[in-house]
Structure formats: C-alpha cells, structure tokens
Chain A
Amino acid sequence: MPAVSKGDGMRGLAVFISDIRNCKSKEAEIKRINKELANIRSKFKGDKALDGYSKKKYVCKLLFIFLLGHDIDFGHMEAVNLLSSNKYTEKQIGYLFISVLVNSNSELIRLINNAIKNDLASRNPTFMCLALHCIANVGSREMGEAFAADIPRILVAGDSMDSVKQSAALCLLRLYKASPDLVPMGEWTARVVHLLNDQHMGVVTAAVSLITCLCKKNPDDFKTCISLAVSRLSRIVSSASTDLQDYTYYFVPAPWLSVKLLRLLQCYPPPEDAAVKGRLVECLETVLNKAQEPPKSKKVQHSNAKNAILFETISLIIHYDSEPNLLVRACNQLGQFLQHRETNLRYLALESMCTLASSEFSHEAVKTHIETVINALKTERDVSVRQRAVDLLYAMCDRSNAPQIVAEMLSYLETADYSIREEIVLKVAILAEKYAVDYTWYVDTILNLIRIAGDYVSEEVWYRVIQIVINRDDVQGYAAKTVFEALQAPACHENLVKVGGYILGEFGNLIAGDPRSSPLIQFNLLHSKFHLCSVPTRALLLSTYIKFVNLFPEVKPTIQDVLRSDSQLRNADVELQQRAVEYLRLSTVASTDILATVLEEMPPFPERESSILAKLKKKKGPSTVTDLEDTKRERSVDVNGGPEPAPASTSAVSTPSPSADLLGLGAAPPAPAGPPPSSGSGGLLVDVFSDSASAVAPLAPGSEDNFARFVCKNNGVLFENQLLQIGLKSEFRQNLGRMFIFYGNKTSTQFLNFTPTLICSDDLQPHLNLQTKPVDPTVEGGAQVQQVVNIECVSDFTEAPVLSIQFRYGGTFQNVSVQLPITLNKFFQPTEMASQDFFQRWKQLSNPQQEVQNIFKAKHPMDTEVTKAKIIGFGSALLEEVDPNPANFVGAGIIHTKTTQIGCLLRLEPNLQAQMYRLTLRTSKEAVSQRLCELLSAQF
C-alpha cells in the first residue's frame, strides 16, 4: 500500500482497496467484495446508529465497488443522509455517490433535491459549489425542473463568489443542453453577456461556454457578446506572455479562453461595426504573425496551446470566408504544417485545408500543396492521416489537376487499407465523371477501378459507367474495344463481366468488323466467364446473348444451342430458367424485324443526379462543400464557353420564389432542369445533396414531384433514398393542422445525431406557425421514428416550409432537405351552395385583382372522375349541377387562417380536343387566388 493518503483518513478504505488489488483471481475479488458488501449491509442495518465518518467510509467503499464494475443496490439512503452533514468531506462523498449512482427513485430524488436546495441557500460558497457540481453532473430533467429557474439568479447575483458563478454558469449550460425548455430566458441574459467583462478570468472562461450555447438558439438576444468577445480576445492576444499570471499556460496567455472566444465568434457572421471588425482582424493577424515567431519554449505543451489558438483562428477565418488575404495566409500556414514533424499537426493541417479548399479565395492556394499531399498519401504511417490526405485530394480536385489526382488515388487504392477502399472507389468514380473532358479517360479509369478494387465497386458505380456510355455515342466504340480487351485477362472481376456483358450486348457490333473481335469471338469470350459468375450476372449475360442474336445473325445457332442446353433450360434458378426459355423462344419465333424492335439499342438514360454521388454524398462534410463550390466554378466556365443555361435556372438561383424552388434548384447547378450545359455530358451530375455543415442542403431531387402529389392528399411517402424514407400523415381542420412525419431507417446501421429541422423562411414565418419536439437522435437500423408537427395558419402564405434532416450514417454526414407539403389549400373548408348563390358570389368577385386564370396543357389523361377526386382532395366542395356546361367543374370553399377567412370559388373548364384546361380562381384576396391557381394547375 502506498504511503499516500493525503488529507483523508479513511484507512479502512485503503485496506479494502489494497485487498482487492492483491486478489489473484476474479473469483477471489468477487469473494472479497461480497464479504465487504455483507459487512456494509449489516452496518447499515445494525441497531447502532452510525456516525457520519463511518457512513462516509462505507459509502465510499460502495462507490469503489461500483466503479470496479459491480452493481450496487443499496446505500443510496445513507449517501443522501451524508448530503445534510455539515462536515464538508462527508457532504462531498455523499454528492459524489449521488452523481455517479443516481437512480430515479422518486422519493430519493425529492430528498436529494431538498439537500441541494438547502446547500444552494446556505450562502456557504463551498457548499453551493458542491450542490452545483452535483446538478451539473446529474443533469437530469427532474433536477432541471427543480433548479433551472434558481441558477440564473445565483449566476448574476452581485454577491455570488467567483467560484460559485463559474459553477453556476456551467451547471446552467448542462441543464440547458439537456432540457432547453426548462431554462427561462429573461432579464438575466443581458447580465450574463456582461460576464465577458468580468475581472476574474475563470468566470469569463465558464461564462463563454454558456453564452456560446445559448446564442445559437437566440442569436439576437446575445448579439452584444460580439464586441465584448472581440475586445476580450484582443486584450489576451496582445498581452505579454506573463501578464495573465496563472492563466498563462506554457508562455501562452489564456489558451482555453482564447479558443472559446474564437468559437463564440463563429456563431455569428463577421461583425458589422467597422471598428469591431477592424479590431478583430487585427487579432487574427496577430495570431497568424505569432505562428511565425520562434517558440518561447521547446515543450510540446507550448506549441500545442499556441497552435490550438491558431487552428481556431483559421476556423474563424474560414467561417467568415470573406477576407481573401487572411484565407491565403491561413493556407500558407497550414502548408507549413503539412510537413511538420508532429503527426498531430500534419493531421490537423490536412483536415483544416479541406475546408479551405472550398473557399473560392483559397482554392488555388490549397492546390499548390498537391505534391505534399500526394506524398503524405504515400508515406504517412498512420491510416487516419492518410484518410485525411485522401479527403483533401478530393476536395482540391478540379479540372486542372483531376488526371493527376485520379491517377494517384488509383495507385494508392492498390495498397489502401480495407476500411477506406469503398470510399476511395466512390471518390475516384465521381472525380472521373465530373472532370472527364475525354470520355475514353473516364472509361479507362472506371475499368481500372474494377480491376484494382472490384470488390469495393458498388452497383452504383458500374451502373453509372453504363449509363454514360449509352448516353455518349462518341465513346461507345472505344468502350466496347476496351472491355473486350479487359475481358481477355484470365481472371477478371465479376463486375467487369457485368460491364463487359452489357456494353458488348449493346455495342459489340461496333468492333465486330475486326476479325480479332468477331461476333463469335466476343460470344466465346463472354461465355467462358459464364460459369464462374453469380446468378444475377448470368442473367445479365443471357440478355447479352439474345441481343447478340439480333446484332449478329451468324451466331444465332451457337447461342440457341447454349440456351437450349439443360443447364439453362432446366436451371434450378427460376430467373435463369425463365430467361433461357423465353429468349430461346423469342429467337425462334420472332422475325428479324420484331427481334430488331424488341432488342433495339437502349435509349439514352434521362439525365439525373448521379447515383454514385447520391451514395457518396457528403461522405465527408468538407469535401462536399467543395463539390458545391466546384460546381459554381464549373458553371461559370460553362456559361462563358458553352451554350446559355436555361433561363429558368438562372432565375431560380436569384429569386427563391416557390415556383422556382419547384424546379429543385436552390444553389444546385442547372443539371436537373433544362438542357445540360454541354450536350450529353451527363450534365456533370453534380451532387444536389451537397451541404456545408451549417447550410441546409439544396432540395433533394425528385422531391418537387412528391411535393406536388401531396397538394391533393395528406398521406404517403414524401421522400425516399437508399438510406432514408420519410412518410407523412396529416390532418387539417380550419386553420389548424397536425402532421405526423415518419422517418424510416432503411439500412441495418444506426443513424446518429439524427436531427430534423423545420425551416420557415423569413417570408413565411409570420404566416405559418410550426411546433414540434426534437426526435431521438439515434435511429436504429430498420427502425422508424415519428415526429408530430402542430401547424397553425396565421394568414395566407405562398412558400412551403423546408424539412432539413441531418444525421450521421456510418461515420459520414448526411443532409437531406425536402419541401414539406403544407400548402394554403390544406386550410380549406368546403362550402356547399346552389347554382344561384354560386353565380351571385362569382359576380361579386369580379374585380380584376380577385380573379386569376390559367390556361394550360393537360399533363395527365383527362379523366372526369380523377379530376373530381382531385378537386375534392384539394379541399373545396365540388358543386354538381351548378355550371350550365356539365363538362365543367366548379368548387367553393373557405380558407381559414387565424386572422381571417377567405372565400374561394373555382371553375375548371376542360377542352378534350385541345387537351387543355382553363382554370379560374376568384377569391377576395389576390395572393390567395394566385397561389391556389398555381397549386391546382399543377395537378392536371
């Protein structure tokens, strides 16, 4: 047993710990523990009342036993008794036990809260601190309910001791994080901000954390903190290394406080006040300058503390993304770190540079470090550092360096750690597609990917290469030749057989003229792989064979023989058997013409978002920021060099009106709507999901279709991708509504930090109230969670709210945004009325502003019953026998908002011959007529 037993005299405890340590086996340990538990139990139950000291000792032993990993089911009451001891150490042990072993026994909680209350009221600072520590450690809702209202008072009270203020600030922070609703904002908030000016550095250190957390939800209430934080920071940064005495750490003044202040500033945009901004920029420059000064100490603590501030400064510079000079300086500084002997610094520099690569001001500067990063990929011994290097290469890639980066990634892939191969494959596939000028290069790259890491090439990747080859006729011949050559290898990956089978089936004719790749040779080559392949691949090959029958009549008998063999016609697999039977039959009965029609070349695939991107999408947060940025850059190039992008897309970028949003653009490139800028390039198929950590993802592609579908119905699937399905169920009554959102995890892995956020734009906010509770941040694989949104329509509105969902899936950050189909017509109450009434009101609303009319072409078959259902689904009453023309539809209803009710009449006149509709809306309010007309027109 060591001699140390400082301050404390619990010798019995030391003996016990010593005994436990001397136990030779787990069994002996358990035996000793059980003996001790029995002893303690008998003491607690004994007749003799225990004094405080013994109670403390036994409670401490129980705690030790618990910390060893054993369950403790008694002693809580004794611990609670200790709380009311007036001996500090007894109280302290009592609180420690409660903090570690609290359970939700309500009786106990009441007693604990009582003891805490007494200590908080005791005016004895040490007791108050103990109580505050306990609340902060437990942080439960019950404690929040009991104390959340008191702590702000303690925090800002003029007579609270510094140490009490510190504990109160962080205690409040913990309660706020656990249950924000329990912490009342109020007059105290302004005084908390002024703690940034406090004389005591410890108080400032604690208060900044609290403010940083609070201001995220209430940025305006805490706005004054910006100038206070800047001046505090400036004082620290410019102080000499000894000015701050004990708050100087290895010659660095107040590093923790500095980092926290810089974090706080990242909650806000750059200061508006020029003087404050000037002072801040000066601070940031000072930090960058100091990085160039010789170190004041050789200790790693000195450089770590100094660099911690430096990295936080760079984060702030990147956050502002507005000072080109600082961004470039930050980049140069990180460049130096890329070759630092400290692994930690190299790691952080690579990580930080990734975000710098996404700023247009520093992208070029980051690119100059390409050789160093490639070298890191080759020489770093720690896989986590190499991973960062891969991320950075991806982030810095653009048209100018894509061939080099892709080549380096491919060669790294040969030896890469298994854990990161799939991600590299996706990244290479995306870069190759995005920056392909020459599509033969693209085809070569993907085939290389399959050769090197075939097992990690997912379906998305090989589907994509086929889509691109089919859509670009200039590369088809080359692709056929290349896959033919690749298939010559004695052992080739099954994914290559799939790609080869598909491409030769479509374009084998383009190389059939060469006697070295005659139809029969092509067929024999493919068929030589057939028996080694899995069922899906064989099925694909059978389709290739029937295409060959069409392309090359001369091999028809050979192929028929193959199809006819028992191993095909009687294959145990039903899919294979069916294909063999049907293809054989087709080849026998169909005339050449029919065969040619059935097996015509695949039409080009519709241009849409790349499935690979959907898969990789924000594999890493920062790298996709780059996607977005690159896209912007690419687009401007296209605008200058290529055909004009569709006007619709231009306006969509500048005016975020709802109709433009329906084009699904947001900040995304013009690819999904209108003609792609360069013909048939696949529109670069940029990641429409791109996100930056804070920004909302542009709307998910396809979500606009689903959105329109919900105008006339309330339930269904709003969004679905490979990971996530979002279903809706909603009901509306008058101006209120309730929507159930169901989030289904389609994978077998859990989603972490799952946070759906409802966003109402500034224009929308005054008109629509949405209330909801956060959902559980973890969604287990295969599970579904539900969120209820209460809706109140305050007044008429046009835009739709956006549902933005962020979560982590398998370590990667995911971000999805969809428009939530809460539309004005949901607040319709149908009104029945007779013909006469209808036309009387119709005439009353004859003011030109009250009527909106739209004539449009039918997008769906003009079916009377469907139309009726849609009008009813839209929410208005369908009035029969009102319109003199029975082919017309008329409807009436009232839109309920909190402030007013708006009567609406509508008339829809179909013209079957022209396949057109005329829709007329009359309401007392122009904006309402306009919006309803828009919504309803999109339905037919």
Chain B
Amino acid sequence: MQFMLLFSRQGKFQLQKRYVPLSDKEKKKITRELVQTVLARKPKMCSFLEWRDLKIVYKRYASLYFCCAIEDQDNELITLEIIHRYVELLDKYFGSVCELDIIFNFEKAYFILDEFLLGGEVQETSKKNVLKAIEQADLLQEDAKEAETPRSVLEEIGLT
C-alpha cells in the first residue's frame, strides 16, 4: 500500500499516512486531486478506480472517507477489508467511534494504525492483539497521570 487517507465530506484531512516518500509539493497536489476525484463519485459506484498508476480503494463511513492507494498487483477486496478492520479497531477502542473522536484523539488514530499496518503491509489482524498493545500504553498513561495530577488542575484553570 502506498498511502492511506482519511478525509471528511468537506475534504478536510483527519489522517494521512504514507508508506512511500513523496516531496511535500507532490503530496499536496496529489492528495488534493485525489480527494476531488473521490468526492465526485456517486454512492452506488464501485469502490475501486484507476488513478495515475495506482489503484484507489475507498469506502465511506458516515461523513468520513477512508481511501487507500495500492499497487497494480495488490488485492482490491482485501484492501477494502483493511479499511473496515481499521474502522472496527477505532470503534472498539473509542466505543462507537465518531469523527470527533478521531479529531480529538488524532494521535491515538495514528498509534492504532501503526499497530495494524506497518510499512504499508498488514502487521497484525487480530483485533485483540492490536488493542492489547494500545491499552497497555493507556495503562502506562494512567500511572503517569496520577503523578501529574497537580499540573492537570493548573491546566484546568486555563494555565496552558
């Protein structure tokens, strides 16, 4: 897989993950073009399209589009299910995920993705194993938080 993009109906990016390096300029141009192409498609159309020399696989969940670019030899249907499994992971982690969860916890969305896909390939497909890794981190976080309590209070009164 070359990249995965998450964007809203309005074309705003919530997550961009690339597995093949691109210059910043190309990145912007290419993604803008792709988002427009995908947004212009009608609901009943097929989830795959040829785009430049890549195959695009996309799926819409509520107001969010999940869009993957894969290479010629890659399997379209299994990519569609990569998207779905990722959505399931987010859903399980956040408890029925919504767009806001991803916006406010963008770093978690990246961490979960890294556990699931690495270097553009599926690393771990078991939901349990992926979430175990993330939740372990959260446990460590809780410990840390207790130690930080006084500062959190300061923060709440606006001293950010």
Q: Looking at A60, A256, A382, which has the most chain B CB atoms within 10 Å of its CB? A: A256
Which A residues are CB-close (under 8 A) to B137?
A: 7, 88-89, 92, 126
Residues of chain A within 8 A (CB-CB) of B75 are: 259, 263, 308, 311-312
In the bound complex, residues from chain B placing their C-beta under 8 Å from that of A173 are 119, 121
Which chain A residues border B82 with CB–CB below 8 Å?
Answer: 256
Q: Which has the most chain A C-beta neighbours within 10 Å: B81, B98, B156?
A: B81
B141 touches A206 (CB 8 A): no
Whether, in the assembled complex, A202 has its beta carbon less than 8 Å from a beta carbon of chain B, the answer is yes
Q: Out of A92, A167, A346, which one reaches B123, CB within 8 Å?
A: A167
A293 within 8 A of B: no
B121 touches A254 (CB 8 A): no
The answer to whether A249 and B123 touch across the interface, beta carbons within 8 angstroms, is no
A305-B148 contact in complex given A202-B125, A205-B124, A254-B125, C-beta closer than 8 Å: no
Say yes or no: A126 contacts B123, CB within 8 Å. Answer: no
How far is B77's CA from A301's CA once the two chains are assembled, in angstroms?
9
| Bound CA–CA A241/B159 (angstroms) | 55
Supposing A14-B104, A167-B123 touch, asked if A174 and B19 sit within 8 A by C-beta, the answer is yes
For the complex, what is the distance from the CA of A51 to the CA of B46, rounded to whole Å? 51
Interface residues of B in 107-139 (CB under 8 A from A): 107-108, 110-111, 114, 118-129, 133, 135-138
B77 adjacent to A311 (CB under 8 Å): yes
Q: Give Cα distance in the complex from A206 to B122, angstroms.
A: 7
Known: A89-B140, A344-B77. A206 touches B105 (CB 8 A): no
- Given A384-B46, A752-B52 in contact, is the A89-B141 Cβ separation under 8 Å? yes
The answer to whether residues A170 and B123 also contact, given A4-B104, A11-B152 and a CB cut-off of 8 A, is: yes
Contact indicator per residue, chain B 15-43, by CB within 8 Å of chain A (1) or not (0): 01001010000000000000000000010
- Encode B85-104 as 1/0 by CB contact (under 8 A) with A: 10000000110001011011
A187 contacts the other chain (Cβ, under 8 Å)?
A: no
Across the interface, do A5 and B156 meet the contact criterion of CB distance under 8 Å? no
Is B124 in contact with A202, judged by CB distance below 8 angstroms? Answer: yes
Contact with A along B33-68 (1 / 0, CB 8 A): 000000000101111111011000000000000000
Q: Interface 1/0s, chain A 306-323, versus B by CB < 8 A?
A: 011001100000000000
Task: Give the residue name and chain of the A residue nearest to B20 (CB).
Answer: A177
A839 within 8 Å of B (CB atoms)? no
Chain A residues closer than 8 Å to B106, beta-carbon distance: 63-64, 67
Minimum CB–CB distance for A215 against chain B, Å: 14
Check A63 against B160 for contact (C-beta < 8 Å).
no
Q: Most chain-B CB neighbours within 10 Å: which of A5, A6, A39, A266?
A: A6
Main secondary structure of the interface of A (DSSP, over half): helix
Closest to A167 in B: B118
Given that A21-B103, A92-B137, A249-B85 are known contacts, is A348 also in contact with B155, CB under 8 Å in the complex?
no
Given known A139-B119, A246-B126, A305-B81, contact A343–B44 (CB-CB < 8 A): yes
Q: Is the CB of A308 within 8 A of B124?
A: no
Given A6-B138, A54-B151, A382:B77 Cβ within 8 A: no
For A39, the chain B residues whose CB sits under 8 A away are 160
A255 proximity list for chain B (CB < 8 A): 78, 81
Count A/B pairs, Cβ under 8 Å.
216
B120 surroundings in chain A (CB, below 8 A): 174
A1 at the interface (CB under 8 A from B): yes
**A171 CA to B140 CA in the complex, in Å?**
25
**Are B78 and A348 in contact, with the CB atoms below 8 A?**
no
Task: Judge whether B77 and A87 touch: CB under 8 Å.
Answer: no
- Cα-based distance from A385 to B76 in the complex (angstroms): 14
Contacts of B142 in A (CB 8 A): 7
Instruction: Tell me if A205 and B156 are in contact (CB < 8 A).
Output: no
* Stretch of A129-137, A436-444, A655-663, A888-896 lying at the B interface: A129-137
Return the chain A residue nearest B97 by Cβ.
A4
Quick one: CB contact mask for A12-29 with B, threshold 8 Å, 1 for yes? 101111100100000000
Nearest opposing residue in chain A for B160, CB measure:
A12
Collect the chain B residues with CB atoms within 8 Å of residue A605's CB: none
- For A64, the closest partner residue in chain B by CB is B106
* Alpha-carbon separation in the docked complex, A312 to B73 (Å): 10
Q: Which A residues between 42 and 75 are near B, CB-CB below 8 angstroms?
A: 51, 53-54, 57, 60, 63-64, 67, 69
Q: How far is the CA of A132 from the CA of B123 in the complex (A)?
A: 12
Bound CA span A259–B80, Å: 13
Q: Which residues of B contact A246 (CB under 8 A)?
A: 126-129
What is the chain A residue whose CB lies nearest that of B152? Answer: A9
With A136-B119, A139-B119, A308-B81 given, is the CB distance from A343 to B46 under 8 Å? yes
Residue ranges of B at the interface with A (Cβ–Cβ < 8 Å): 13, 16, 19, 21, 42, 44-50, 52-53, 72-73, 75-78, 80-82, 84-85, 93-94, 98, 100-101, 103-108, 110-111, 114, 118-129, 133, 135-138, 140-142, 144-145, 148, 151-152, 155-156, 160
- For this complex, 5 residue pairs linking A to B, each with C-beta atoms less than 8 Å apart, are A60-B107, A254-B125, A308-B76, A308-B80, A753-B53
10 cross-chain pairs, A with B, having the tightest CB-CB distances, nearest first: A7-B138, A174-B119, A308-B77, A308-B78, A12-B160, A170-B118, A246-B126, A209-B121, A88-B140, A343-B46
Besides A5-B105, A382-B42, 12 other A-B contacts (C-beta < 8 A): A2-B100, A7-B142, A17-B103, A126-B136, A167-B123, A205-B124, A259-B75, A305-B81, A312-B75, A344-B48, A382-B44, A384-B46
Chain A residues engaging chain B, CB cutoff 8 angstroms: 1-2, 4-9, 11-12, 14-18, 21, 39, 51, 53-54, 57, 60, 63-64, 67, 69, 87-90, 92-93, 96, 100, 126, 129, 132-133, 136-137, 139-140, 163, 166-167, 170-171, 173-174, 177-178, 201-202, 205-206, 209, 246-247, 249, 254-257, 259-260, 263, 266, 301, 304-305, 307-308, 311-312, 343-344, 346-348, 381-382, 384-385, 387, 693, 752-753, 808, 811
